[in-house]
Amino acid sequence: MSRFRLVPDEFSYNSAIFACAKGGQWQWALRVFAGISEVRVACDAITCNAAISACAGGAQWQPALHMLKDIPEMRLSPDKFSYCAALSACEKGRQWQFSLSLLSEMTQTRLSGDELCHGAAISACEKDGRWQVAVSLLHQMPQRSMKPSAIMYNVVSSALETAGVWEASLALLGNMLVQRLIPDALFAGSTAGALRKAVSEESAYDLLVQLLQLWIAQDRPEAQEEGEPEEENGYLPGSSEHVRILGTAPGVIAIFKPTGVTTATAVGQVSQQLVGETAESELYNPAGLFIVSRLDHPTSGVCPVALGVAGSAAAYWLQAQFAGRLVRKEYLCLCEGPALGPEGFTGAIASRLLTTDMGLVRGTSQSSRTEVSALGREAATGYEVVARYCAPRGAAGEISELMLLLVRPLTGRTHQIRVHLASIGRPLVGDLTYGTRGSSLLPACPRLFLHCREITLRDVEGRPFVAEAPLPADLQDILARLQPVQVQESRNGNHQGEQEEQSLAGGSKCLTGHKDNAHRSDILSVLPATWGYQNVTRSTSLLDFPVIQGCYATDAIFSLAAMGKFIKAGRVVVILSGRYAGKKAIVAKVFDDGSKSRPFGHCLVAGVDRAPLKVTRKMSKKKISKRTRVKPFVKYVNYNHIMPTRYQVPTEIQPAAMVTDQQMDTSDGRIEAKKFVKSLLQEKFAAPPADKTGRPSKDVLYLRKKLRF
């Protein structure tokens, strides 16, 4: 403006700050705000609120709170919008304590908080796992003349699902019906997910069937989905595959989406085909299709679509299954990097993922980018090594190879499979966003090697619906040109333990294991190198083959409750969630069938909250004594929240005597048990018992060593 000999006023600064906030440039917004003090321009509340909103957009809760605190120094009074913007920043930063403080401060300054402020505070509690506080805030809203919205119920329901408190989820559902609010698909899915975790999958479906009757009675379809086809044709000019229908059932249709096509484009083309072919049919409305799950632009495979517009009973039914994690998906992908293990090796990655809106890039469909972050949402991906291939001659990386994986994602985050595998150093071949690009072992791959081969769910009549899509011809040709790795009979016995440490050290919680290679040879005989599936019909699932049932049981990988027979007293485990996430513990007692107070598979563990630190001879005795102290803990843990390792403590430690059920019933008993565990572990850590070779026990040394994330 100085070039044009114009003097910026308060409106100019407000517009600049709003533009920075909308573009996600909170640093520039603060710089512009700081420049106001250098010129003689009056700063008003609107300017301050815009700067706080910019910090909220970047999840910068510290600058937002500082600016809110500095508003009185500018001879201004913070209004409701100032507090709402600060609450939004705390919500994105998971600062639930500050959110409650801001709500209390609003009451003291006689500012009446609205539904938006309480919603931000409830969301902050949900993200940090404080479901009790979230329920309390929701309960207080009617007392303050505020009516909770369906979105707030969804947020609280999500917190209850994460905590596995299914009784509270059902009570919240009843309260929602009393308020004459119809639960939507997200709320129903969260409640069903809590039932699935704590009770059974059938109980979750029973709840959804009851809600389905309510959705049918109150069926008020909304407008068609926002996403419109970005292209007129259904496939790219260079694509050899076409959009086609794989199967139909009441309320659901499965289509094949080729690579290079957006999901909205594929669904739009199928809708046109249905209108042209079955316009006079009374089975369903061919033009009413709703996308319940999307595939990435370069990904091919099965894509389920609801036979109904947004808000219809069919759309809610499928959305609830996805939200409750009742849908089973299987992908085939080719990744590169160091070997994960032999054929049949299995694992699961559990790293939180944060998706950032990047804005639509011209010429591409990339509008967001995902990364591993502690501020992200819960995500879990299971994988199994199906085949291994040698790196092509002349490729970079002597110790790297190509691995064909069968991947089963438990959650549906954006780019989840691609980011999770890249986070453990095994990016997908052909991935231009998260892959190795120019240094790839297979630079000639024409596309992203990721294909959704099977989806299993239930139609609106409650019957199982399985849709399959064979591997496309272009991906089959790539596998046909690769040379399989020659399997060696002698393998390093410590490979599995090293894999656990490396995966955890890389920031990804990875559960590992392997199956018998004899089963794998049978599987490869059923699934030949061409992957044509000549013996498999559209209605046949791979789980129908007896030879595969023992190796491809979906629950065997993802439900640690099925691993109860592998968890026994003395086993060293790693806690995966809660206050002691990442801590190691010893199993003292197992409850495979659950108990009266805990009707699910769990165990009683005694763990190490604080491991001993490294000491040297130069340290004083007082310092050595302080650094070798052990802080223990004792608790009951769900099988789904632990990772069993291959380490088993020596029998002389007597894990069953470390803590008992009677001690856990009272606080004095728990204190007594922790004192005993502390003295026992400090003694064994200082002088580890010897193994059969006379060396210090590796099991005790592993327990003493702290995991590094």
Active site residues: 296
* Residue whose structure tokens are 């018998």: 516
Tokens for 225, please give them: 């989905």
CA-closest candidate to residue 115, choices 137, 89, 82, 93: 137
Which residues make beta-bridge pairs with 329? 455
Tokens for 255, please give them: 């289509």
Rounded Cα–Cα distance for residues 412 and 71 (Å): 42
Residues 268-275: contacts with CB under 8 Å, at least 24 apart: 268/228, 268/229, 268/234, 269/229, 269/233, 269/234, 269/243, 270/243, 270/245, 270/305, 273/245
Is residue 690 within 8 A of residue 597, CB to CB? The reply is no
Contacts of 10 (CB under 8 A, 6+ apart): 41, 42, 43, 44, 47
What are the φ/ψ torsions at residue 166 (nearest 5 degrees)?
Answer: -75, -30
What are the φ/ψ torsions at residue 458 (nearest 5 degrees)?
Answer: -125, 140
Centre a 10 Å sphere on the Cβ of residue 21 and count the other Cβ atoms it contains: 23
Tokens for 22, please give them: 């909308």
**H-type helices in 93-179, by residue range?**
96-108, 115-127, 131-140, 150-163, 166-178
Residues 196-202: contacts with CB under 8 Å, at least 24 apart: 196/324, 196/325, 196/326, 197/161, 197/164, 197/166, 197/640, 198/164, 198/166, 198/599, 198/600, 199/166, 199/599, 201/326
Tokens for 570, please give them: 């003395």
Is residue 232 within 8 A of residue 264, CB to CB? The reply is no
Is residue 273 within 8 A of residue 282, CB to CB? The reply is no
Residue 470 carries which side chain, given as an amino acid letter?
P
